[in-house]
Amino acid sequence: MTTVTARTVHLLRRPDGFPTSDLFAFRERELAPPGEGEALVENLYLSVDPYMRQLMDGGWPLDAPLGRGRALGRVVASRAAGLAEGDIVFHTGGWSTHALVEPGTARAVEPAPGVPLAAYLSVLGGTGLTAYAGMRSVLDVRPGESVYVSAAAGAVGGVAGQIARLLGAERVLGSAGSAAKVAHVTERLGFTAAYDYREGGLAGWLAEQAPEGLDATLDGVGGDHLEAAIGAAKEFGRIAWVGAISQYHSAANPPAAPRNLYAVSDRSLHLRGYQVRHHMHLREEAEEWLVPHLVEGRIALDHTVVDGFDSLIDAFLGVLRGDNLGKMLVRLDAAGNEA
């Protein structure tokens, strides 16, 4: 086999505030044929995620191919035991059309009957696992509870709210950034009620919707959303703090912490941060639990798919802007019309 020309993306400069497309450049690089123990993968789907905004501040090197991104691809040549040509694999090789992987860095994926491949980067991927770990392990949501989820129309939030409903929560409340998203969250994802936070008054809305207080919150927005969740929590309420997307563009001048932090003590709240990487042991359990709900339609598959490697940067900036409903994915030419 000869070398393959892979398309990649480089970061040219670090952002100052909200990132712009001119900070990135598309590049090409030659990949040698797989060496002993390696397999060459042609990517089908790439994930674009908010944590990459944090990588732009330091985790990603400048002017080098951008790794540390989740992808699904097909093995096109292999010298690795356990990875055969034609296998579909999940790996974290990042933003490239092709990747050289090893069995330790790539996992074979065999989609369950009735489950589209792309689901393995969304509800059955890292964001779905984040939602599952949050609802089941960190918050341990119980029947009859009142639950609030921020960024509810997004990848983690949408799945988290649906899991809370399936766990028997009596009220599943969500917030999102437009009237269309509010309708999506209630009509398609089955949240009890949702609110467009851009109207202001989120704290008041939560107090109205859950007059006896919230039992559990999953917050990925931080700032005023976390403050509203603390304000609306009942005594002994639990808050899983998974992210702070409202603050990712202000590294040099972070906004103040929630002004009502003392309520955590005053009402004996349980405020816990978590990272999905500390819950990888739940991956198989989550998949077993989620697949029947997906196949039987109790969990809606919620994706925004953009086509083509050239659309990658716009898709990434789109997640940060809120252009997505559900998980934002980039489908590459090699995926054809695969759902």
Ligand X SMILES: NC(=O)c1ccc[n+]([C@@H]2O[C@H](COP(=O)([O-])OP(=O)(O)OC[C@H]3O[C@@H](n4cnc5c(N)ncnc54)[C@H](OP(=O)(O)O)[C@@H]3O)[C@@H](O)[C@H]2O)c1
The answer to whether residue 49 forms part of the interface with ligand X (CB under 6 A) is yes
Kindly state the smallest distance separating residue 177's Cβ from ligand X, in Å.
3
Per-residue contact flags (x/-) with ligand X for residues 314 to 333, judged by CB under 6 A: -----x--x-x---------
- Which DSSP string corresponds to 70-86? -EEEEEEEE-STT--TT
* From 94, 154, 161, 258, residue interacting with ligand X (rule: CB under 6 A): 154
Kindly state the smallest distance separating residue 288's Cβ from ligand X, in Å.
21
Q: Whose Cβ is closer to ligand X: residue 40's or residue 274's? A: 274
- What is the rounded distance in angstroms from the CA atom of residue 326 to the CA atom of residue 334? 23
The answer to whether residue 177 forms part of the interface with ligand X (CB under 6 A) is yes
The answer to whether residue 276 forms part of the interface with ligand X (CB under 6 A) is yes
Q: Find the part of the chain contacting ligand X (CB under 6 A) among 27-35, 56-64, 98-106, 175-183.
A: 175-183
Subset of residues 237 to 266 that bind ligand X, contact rule: CB under 6 A: 242-246
List b or e across 295-328, with b for residues whose CB sees 16 or more CB atoms inside 10 angstroms: eeeebbbbbbbbeebebbbebbbbbbebebbbbb
Q: Which helix H or strand E contains 292, and what residues bound it?
A: helix 283-295
Kindly state the smallest distance separating residue 128's Cβ from ligand X, in Å.
10
Kindly state the smallest distance separating residue 322's Cβ from ligand X, in Å.
3
> What is the largest distance, in Å, between two alpha-carbon atoms of the chain?
66
Residue sitting closest to ligand X (CB): 154
Kindly state the smallest distance separating residue 248's Cβ from ligand X, in Å.
7
Distances (CA, A) of 68 to 25, 34, 48, 91: 17, 20, 11, 9
Subset of residues 93 to 152 that bind ligand X, contact rule: CB under 6 A: 127, 130, 151
> Which two structure tokens, joined as six digits, stand for 71?
């992808």
- Which DSSP string corresponds to 173-239? EEEESSHHHHHHHHHTT--SEEEEGGGS-HHHHHHHH-TT-EEEEEESS-HHHHHHHHHHEEEEEEE
* From 65, 73, 220, 237, residue interacting with ligand X (rule: CB under 6 A): 220
* From 51, 107, 289, 314, residue interacting with ligand X (rule: CB under 6 A): 51
The answer to whether residue 300 forms part of the interface with ligand X (CB under 6 A) is no
- Which DSSP string corresponds to 25-59? EEEEEEEPPP-TT-EEEEEEEEE--THHHHIIIII
Summarize as ranges the residues that interact with ligand X (CB under 6 A).
Answer: 49-51, 127, 130, 151, 153-157, 176-178, 181, 220-221, 242-246, 275-276, 319, 322, 324
